[in-house]
Structure 1
Amino acid sequence: MAGLGEHITAMVRSHAAGDDAAFYAVALQVAAREAKSGHHVLASDIKKAVDLSRDRAPAGNVTKLVQPRGDLAELVEAAHPEVHLRELVAPAELVAEIKQVLAEQRQRKNLLNHGFAPAHRLLLEGPPGTGKTMTAAVLATELSLPMFTIRLDSLLSKFMGETASKLRLVFESVAQRRAVYLFDEFDALGADRSGNDVGEARRILNSFLVFLEEASPESLVLAATNHRAILDKALFRRFDAVLTYALPDARQAASVIRARLGSLATGTSMAKLGDHTGGLSHAELVKAAETAAKTVLMRGEAHVNRDDLITALTARRTASLG
């Protein structure tokens, strides 16, 4: 009965998490167990029930969005991103680090069988809008995993006094469901605190460090911060890798703009745009490109000219400085 009990536990967990694929997989394992025990009618009934349930799934919903349930629903936002590595504009060194993480995850079973854990705890640090959240989406897409975002500032403010227990729920999900878990706005938790601001914040941080240390290598746990300098130094040694992000240089800025404009950039000169793109993040460059594109389309034209871009970039720089 112990084996059946484990199956039932797994089914309850998958049902609570809204993971139909895992639920059906365990149900079929139970059917196989019953068939092996000679209970062929019961096994057949279970298989028919699974097939019927699958057939009744909404048409066209090939990949059902996994939505957390219960207490977890208050803590995380679920998504199934479709952002590939080729879409990320970043320095070659950073892209190589991301490729290494992907390679280790794809070979995780081989590594674990030899006593080595794949990189699965990553600290992403750099200015806002430089690709940290996009990297989480890339990892989820390339590994065909759901992505769960935990916004720590709202977690701390909404559940102060029970934050550590809520974090435990998240890390239990890390162990039970393979996914990419992004702890956004990590500064809210990881800031180096002193003086009177120790108490509860220190206990929460210590709990997070313990949970992170024990995090299952089946999932990826990412923490994103805009302010590395204020992070508690104890955090760094708990991560397998620290990925550093920076504002794009002139060449990368042109690539970001071209990618967003698509065919609207045909024939548009972006030479020597550095004076207008300097200081802007990837996200701000995308917004500027969108502004220029909408201006052109509303004029009834098919291509963005250089003056349109400069006007949009200048406005964006003024807004960011203001």
Structure 2
Amino acid sequence: MTASADHLKALLSAHASGDDDRFYGIALQVAAKSARQGHTRFAKELRELIDASRAEKISRPASPTPVVQPRGELASLLTADYPETRLADMTLAESARGALEKVLHEQRQRGRLERFGFTPVHRLLLSGPPGTGKSMTASALARELGLPLFTIRLDGLISRFMGETASKLRLVFDAAAQTRAVYLFDEFDALGADRSAGHDVGEARRILNSFLLFLDQAPAESMVVAATNHGRLLDSALFRRFDLAVVYEPPSRDQALEVLSRRLAAMDTSTVIWEDLAALTEQLSHAELVKAAEAAAKQAILGGSDTIGAGQLSDALNERRRLRHA
């Protein structure tokens, strides 16, 4: 018999819980064990059955993974959501988009990589100024993969549970091993400040060391995404622990105009000469541009029109610029 008792129990457990990825992973282990024992024909047939079953599943419409609301202690550590944002909805630099498409491709081909002993990218570090799309990226990754998004705000966690932060982080990573999802650690610089900084204290050191240990052990089934506004402040050891780092910048003029036009897609913008607004978008983040577009749209709608005037949009952009420098 090529499958051990432990394998059979694990297969039944995975099937009962509906965890297809774990089920296939165990089946592949059985195939590999069979091949080592010389049962090459059986191993080949088993791999073919697994590939065919996975292909059939992929061809069916994907059913969304239900959002599991955290309970007990976890409820005080993270929030759960099932986002609707897709990667195609985002305006990104080509370098960032290419990196994220690579992540999604590897995640979707997880089973094929695991057959050869490799794991897909599953630990991401996103850094860049506020409002440039880091949190939205985590939402898009969750949506594209049909997974829940669990958000952990590290600044609040550290301030609320000082002295217990490491144990709380262990709870979160234990959840990542049990529930496949995208886990977003927001405000990551609250945890990852350079350990050589003079203001560093023993507690912060212990928290960071614990996080590094948990990150190293993070299962490939879930994605761990850390977002920071201050990448330059992060300990260099952190960069080595992540599979991929993606840097975000304020949008270029063309990207800024795309953000505005996307947000105003439901409005009549035929009178807007976009090139005339380009200079007003400089240094505004994606989030600030969206707020300017929404302000102009609301003004038009409440004035009884569905047409955006160039003057309304330029006024809204100037207001966002004024607030930025206030």
8 Å contact kept, 1:126–1:246? yes
Matched to 2:219, the amino acid is S
Matched to 2:297, the amino acid is A
Alignment partners' CA distance in 2, 1:24 and 1:251: 45
Matched, 1:168 2:181: no
| 1:11-160 superposed matches below 5 A | 64-160=66-162
8 Å contact kept, 2:65–2:148? no
CA-CA distance at 1:282 after TM superposition: 0.3
Alignment partners' CA distance in 1, 2:250 and 2:200: 32
3-state secondary structure, aligned to 2:267: helix
Deviates most, 264-273 or 205-214: 264-273
Alignment partners' CA distance in 2, 1:186 and 1:63: 26
Which residue in 2 is equivalent to 1:16?
none
8 Å contact kept, 2:269–2:309? no
Which residue in 2 is equivalent to 1:181?
183
Alignment partners' CA distance in 2, 1:163 and 1:150: 12
Matched to 2:248, the amino acid is Y
CA-CA distance at 1:3 after TM superposition: 8.8
Which residue in 1 is equivalent to 2:241?
238
3-state secondary structure, aligned to 2:266: helix
3-state secondary structure, aligned to 1:192: coil
Which residue in 2 is equivalent to 1:309?
313
Alignment partners' CA distance in 2, 1:84 and 1:24: 25
Kindly report the root-mean-square deviation, in angstroms, between the aligned alpha carbons of the 2 structures: 2.3
Alignment partners' CA distance in 2, 1:22 and 1:152: 35
CA-CA distance at 1:271 after TM superposition: 1.1
CA-CA distance at 1:262 after TM superposition: 1.2
Identity among equivalent pairs (%): 54
Unaligned runs of at least 5 residues, structure 2: 24-63
Alignment partners' CA distance in 1, 2:303 and 2:185: 42
- Alignment match of 2:262 (pick from 259, 264, 273): 259
3-state secondary structure, aligned to 1:117: coil
Which residue in 2 is equivalent to 1:201?
204
Matched to 1:274, the amino acid is A
Q: 1:289 to 1:196 in 2, by over 3 A?
A: closer
**What is the count of residue pairs matched by the alignment?**
278
Alignment partners' CA distance in 1, 2:93 and 2:16: 38
Which residue in 2 is equivalent to 1:283?
287
CA-CA distance at 1:263 after TM superposition: 2.9
CA-CA distance at 1:198 after TM superposition: 2.6
4+ runs deviating over 4 angstroms? 1-8, 21-26
Which residue in 1 is equivalent to 2:250?
247
8 Å contact kept, 1:258–1:265? no
Alignment partners' CA distance in 1, 2:65 and 2:145: 14
Matched to 2:296, the amino acid is A
Q: 1:179 to 1:243 in 2, by over 3 A?
A: same
CA-CA distance at 1:195 after TM superposition: 3.2
Alignment partners' CA distance in 2, 1:138 and 1:121: 15
CA-CA distance at 1:2 after TM superposition: 7.7
Deviations 1:171-230 (A, max 9, x none): 111111110000000010001143352301001000000110111011110000000111
Matched to 1:271, the amino acid is E
Alignment partners' CA distance in 2, 1:71 and 1:7: 30
Structure 2 length normalisation: TM-score?
Answer: 0.80
Alignment partners' CA distance in 2, 1:85 and 1:76: 23
Alignment partners' CA distance in 2, 1:117 and 1:104: 8
